[in-house]
Homo-oligomer: A and B are copies of this chain.
Amino acid sequence: MNLEGALAHRDNRPVGAYCSIERALDVLSTRSAMLVLREAFYGATRFEEFAARADLTDATTAARLRDLVRTGILDTRPYQEPGQRRRHEYVLTPAGNDLMPALFALLQWANRHDPPPYPPQLTHHHCGQPVSIEARCEAGHPVTTDDITVTAAGPFGLDDPIAPDG
């Protein structure tokens, strides 16, 4: 892995302010957030589904759903069952849907390195082949960690590329 630009840690300066990973963690760094998100991908839409399937308390479920709605990952949609009062259900926004690779990359990793008794398998619904989460460049090449260069324009300029591993 090579680092260039603002990401080069000159003087061991913290990179946080410019780091997208930290921004993602602001929303997803808690266990309950990831579990609620998992259930959204698995098809849950109602409060009780989230709480029961993710095995969280009502209070935690309510707090996490609120956070995920506030940050634009879930959206509430009103619905009304016959004879019932008006309620709302929780659905993934496009931004929420875009978290699929992140969530399933974790699933894939644990499947490989710390598999549960009955590892969940991901399959392409149309062709039946296994699905994997992988890094790939626009030219179509599979990419390993060592093949990646990280660059960022920034106030420190681009004139001082540093490759910590090289």
A binding-site residues for B, Cβ under 8 Å: 1-3, 5-7, 9, 12-25, 28-31, 34-35, 38, 41-44, 48-49, 52-55, 72, 92, 95, 97-127, 129-139, 141, 143-155, 163-165
Q: How far is the CA of A158 from the CA of B120 in the complex (A)?
A: 12
**Are A97 and B145 within 8 A (Cβ)?**
yes
Q: How far is the CA of A152 from the CA of B120 in the complex (A)?
A: 5
**8 new A-B contacts at CB < 8 Å, known A12-B49, A12-B52:** A16-B54, A98-B109, A98-B112, A101-B133, A126-B147, A132-B138, A133-B135, A136-B136
Instruction: List, sorted by A's number, 20 A–B pairs whose CB atoms are closer than 8 Å.
Output: A2-B125, A6-B118, A7-B120, A14-B55, A17-B117, A22-B35, A29-B30, A95-B109, A98-B112, A100-B144, A100-B145, A101-B105, A101-B109, A101-B133, A121-B150, A122-B135, A125-B149, A129-B139, A133-B134, A133-B135
